[in-house]
Amino acid sequence: MSENTVVLGERENVEDEFLEKVNFIEIPLSRMAKEVGSPLYLNTVAAGVIAGLFYADIEVLEEYLRKRFASKGEKVVDRNIEAAIKGYKLGRTLCEEGIVGVEVSRDRSVKDEILLSGTEAVALGALAGGMNFLSFYPMSPSTGVAVFLAQHAEDFEIIVEQVEDEISAINMALGAWFAGARAMVTTSGGGFALMTEAISLAGMAENPVVIHLAQRPSPATGLPTRTMQGDLNLALHAGHGEFPRIILAPGSIEEAFYLTAEAFNLADKYQVPVIVMTDEYLVDTYYNIPDIELDRIKVEKYIVEAEEDYKRYKLTEDGISPRAIPGYGKGIIVANGNEHDEYGDITEDGELSRLMQEKRAIKKLETIKKNAKLPKLVGDKNAKYLVIGWGSTYYVIKDALEQLNRDDVAFLHFSWVYPLRDDIKELFDGKVLIDIEGNVTAQFAQLLKKEIGVNVSYKILKYDGRPFSVEEILDALKEVLE
């Protein structure tokens, strides 16, 4: 919010303290909705007002309302259109009388773009990545992914299963991967916490699994309808014992689609848990993006045919054992949560246990690190100041830097959060580092320190359950730079 912000609404719903900070214009949304027939039309009136303020094509809104409410009957459709037109006229009037001034050039290039939410992007990305099984227990803000996929389960011939709890959800997904499916669970902090024992099972059994973790402020119930980047340490350390995992955190709606799709190839290739971290802000944000390029996505499968002397946990130099599935080939497939030999049979042999620990926790991790993706650099690589961010803060930081308009400030964004390549350390050499993230302890800065020995100079943190605004980041950066 700034001094130029204009807020439209009903006076009785706005606190006095808030009124002093903004330009408030009262519009009788409730009364207008009642005039149409019911307070239920308030949102449609408001949508009409916004459309009017931006001189949008009212026919587009009318067509949307016809489709949106078609199942509720002609009367409901007509009333909603009436409400939209009523609001639209008010919006136009506010502009024409100079009460509100909106100057936005129409960009016809977006006409061919698609409108997606983060929720839809994750769900569609999973489908593009070959996902054919989803299990979940509802938890805000992750549930939307499951709801979307359940609504389209028949269209895509996938299985969506709501189970009795989170433990069942992830164990069911592990079983699906073991049988040859590509499975995902979608959850939030508390649900993910309940899944951690099964994540260890995935680590020991080297069983792939993809987990969508939509963050919200916690601990415990916290602020279930707000946003925060507070679960990174949970994802990094979930599970007992030592085994690798991959953590991805898309920075945009578009990236949510492509990264989620890629998560399935990574899980299949490295046979580890792959955690796609979003947050309430990202999953509930709608944005228009260029049409999806399906050619960019290749479903890569690494399942092998089991030979007669098949060794599920064969000791290899890169830590990756050939993974077969039951019924494919002549060999016997054994998965085991106990320590095991190369065939999968339980063992307590000291030397073999040592080799298996090294294969899983060292060799496999090193292989993943070598192939990890580099962060995205925005700006001059020789800039004196380097802003660091991860996940959903990408656009708000980028926009703030554009307004800052300084050549000596660049931005490094991480959507591949863990493990980190050793050679990224050179990206930080000689620079003043400014870490920006949505939690109270700068968890990603801690990770940089632990993994590659990098210390950030300044931290800009927000942890009140609200997303960063461009203005907040811009002001905070100015304070640091001055």
HSE-CB for 26 with a 13 A CA cutoff: 9
The structure's pTM equals: 0.91
Residue type, 206: E
What are 23's strand-pairing partners? 6
pLDDT value at 110 more than 90: no
CA distances from 15 to 11, 12, 24, 172 (A): 8, 8, 11, 48
Pairing of strands 376-378, 409-414: antiparallel
State the DSSP string of 81-122. Answer: HHHHHHHHHHHHHHHHTTSS-------GGGGG-EEEEHHHHH
Place 39 in a pLDDT band, splitting at 50, 70 and 90.
very high
pLDDT value at 253 more than 80: yes
- pLDDT for res 415: 98
Share of the chain above pLDDT 70, in %: 100
Give strand ranges (E) for 354-453.
376-378, 385-390, 409-414, 416-418, 432-437
Residues present in the chain in total: 482
Q: Report pLDDT digits (tens) over 134-175.
A: 999 999 999 999 999 999 999 999 999 999 999 999 999 999
- pLDDT for res 464: 97
Mean pLDDT for the chain overall: 96
What are 403's strand-pairing partners? none
- pLDDT for res 104: 81
- pLDDT for res 107: 84
- pLDDT for res 22: 79
Q: What is the mean predicted confidence (pLDDT) over 377-400?
A: 97
3-state secondary structure of 131: coil
What are 238's strand-pairing partners? none
Q: Report pLDDT digits (tens) over 321-369.
A: 999 999 999 999 999 999 999 999 999 999 999 999 999 999 999 999 9
- pLDDT for res 108: 82
Q: How far is it, in rounded angstroms, from Cα 98 to Cα 403?
A: 27
Contact 61, 88 (CB under 8 A): yes
- pLDDT for res 1: 67
- pLDDT for res 17: 78
Query: 378 is written with which tokens?
Result: 């925005």
Q: What is the mean predicted confidence (pLDDT) over 383-399?
A: 98
Q: Which of 383, 393, 370, 457 is nearest to 427 (CA)?
A: 383
Contact 127, 294 (CB under 8 A): no
Q: Which of 39, 54, 43 is nearest to 91 (CA)?
A: 54
What's phi and psi for 435, nearest 5 deg? -90, 130
